[in-house]
Chain A
Amino acid sequence: MDIDQIRERIEATGNLPAPPDVVIRVTEMADRDDTTGRQLGMEIAKDQVISAKVLRLVNSGFYDFSQPIATVSHAVTLLGFETVKSLVLGSTVLDMMKDALPGLWEHSMACARTSALIAERAVLDDAQEVCTAGLLHDLGKVILRQTMEDAFIRVVHFVQERDVLFVEAEEHILGAHHGDFAGWLLEKWGLPDRLIYPIMDHHNFQENRPFAYSTAVIHLADILCRAEALGRGGDLKIPSLNPAALEILDLAIEDVIDIMERMNEEMRDIRRF
């Protein structure tokens, strides 16, 4: 199977759990100039399961609100259309993360919260979007499992046998990796570039790529969560940190150590692996 066939198969996916109808509907509404936050909130609220999950995410600790958010409309007002749209997507795939790989859900939640800590330290202004990218950065692993289970199995087998990173096994076997898979699907679903690029590039940070600041955050967050054993990304190894990611964020290694201290204090609710 060449890379175009893989892309075709992923883009054509109908296998993802909640039909992406709600994502499409919300995307259409969010793109119209005359949609109000309340209307968007009400549209999401029609689906009780989705809205409960969105609220659980909103209140799960990676957005810094002083009190719990009780309605989706309120979440839209506070977080903005784009972030809530991404959370609707996130809520449809989080349960699948639990099934896709042991520890992936914990790793994703930890990565979202770590992204928030890094964004705060680096004084980035779109911290909320970055958190959402952190939450969904390994979405491609879920997509791979859902769309090409045979290939997923070969990747898992290769990881176990050679003790390599999941991304290395994907590249060896498929010539593409979970960043690509997520990028293709999110683009097709009309999600914004500033969410797509950091997810697509988190294993390949380059400072001249679009949204490099956010990508640097996700790249670092992924590595710190693995170092702190918060969840698991489908393998037992850790990728190298690209020093250029620290440079672009203007962070010294001492800042990174401080961030790790805060992770250790604030993420006692997440299981270590």
Chain B
Amino acid sequence: MPDREQMRHIPVGEAQVGDRIAEAIYNENGRVLLPVGARLSEAVLSRLNGWGVDHVAVQGQEDPFGEGTNSLLNALEHRFAGHEEDPLMMRIKDAARSHLSRHR
């Protein structure tokens, strides 16, 4: 059984044939286009852009923001983007960054 919680969000261009979908892909009406666990085939990959999908979540050890400590730090930057003017949030971010950079 693959671990559904291990996943990475990647641009469609980086998805490979054989990657397994970790989060279902829906169309605008909420209809499931690809269920969790579906394997990407050549045919499906070529159709994703046409469906208006630009990112997919695929199963795997890699993280959406890169690998290891860097992925945690990239995710941190992403998470706090937009809070730059908020001194409290920036103090919290700095403390978290020092913890996350020591992680692993």
Contacts and interface: CB of A to CB of B under 8 A. Distances in A.
A256 B92 contact: yes
Q: Is the interface of A mostly helix, strand, loop or mixed?
A: helix
A102 B26 contact: no
A164 B100 CA distance: 23
Contacts of B32: 153
Q: Most B CB atoms within 10 A — which of A150, A229, A237, A241?
A: A229
Given A103-B5, A156-B26, A157-B26, A229 B75 contact: yes
Contacts of A256: 91-92, 95
B20 to A, nearest CB: 14
A227 B103 CA distance: 14
Contact of B72 (A103, A236, A272): A272
A203 interface: no
B10 interface: no
Contacts of B22: 102
Interface in A214-253: 223-224, 226-229, 236-238, 240-241, 243, 246, 253
Given A102-B7, A238-B83, A241-B88, A227 B96 contact: yes
B99 A228 contact: yes
A259 B103 CA distance: 17
B92 A224 contact: yes
Given A153-B30, A227-B96, A260-B99, A238 B79 contact: yes
Contact of A102 (B5, B96, B103): B5
B55 interface: yes
A230 to B, nearest CB: 10
Contacts of A257: 91-92, 95
A229 B92 contact: no
A209 interface: no
Interface residues of B, number: 32
B94 to A, nearest CB: 9
Contacts of A160: 23, 55
A241 B92 contact: yes
B95 A241 contact: no
B40 interface: no
B4 A229 contact: no
Given A154-B30, A240-B83, A260 B88 contact: no
Given A102-B4, A229-B76, A240-B83, A260 B30 contact: no
B57 to A, nearest CB: 8
A246 B89 CA distance: 12
26 contacts: A102-B4, A150-B30, A153-B24, A153-B26, A153-B30, A157-B28, A160-B23, A227-B93, A228-B96, A228-B99, A229-B76, A229-B96, A229-B100, A236-B75, A237-B78, A238-B79, A238-B83, A238-B89, A240-B89, A241-B88, A253-B92, A256-B91, A256-B95, A272-B100, A273-B63, A273-B75
Interface of B: 4-5, 7, 22-24, 26, 28, 30, 32, 55, 63-64, 72, 75-76, 78-80, 82-83, 86, 88-89, 91-93, 95-96, 99-100, 103
Given A153-B26, A238-B83, A256-B95, 11 more contacts: A153-B30, A153-B32, A157-B26, A226-B79, A228-B100, A229-B75, A237-B78, A238-B79, A253-B88, A261-B95, A272-B103
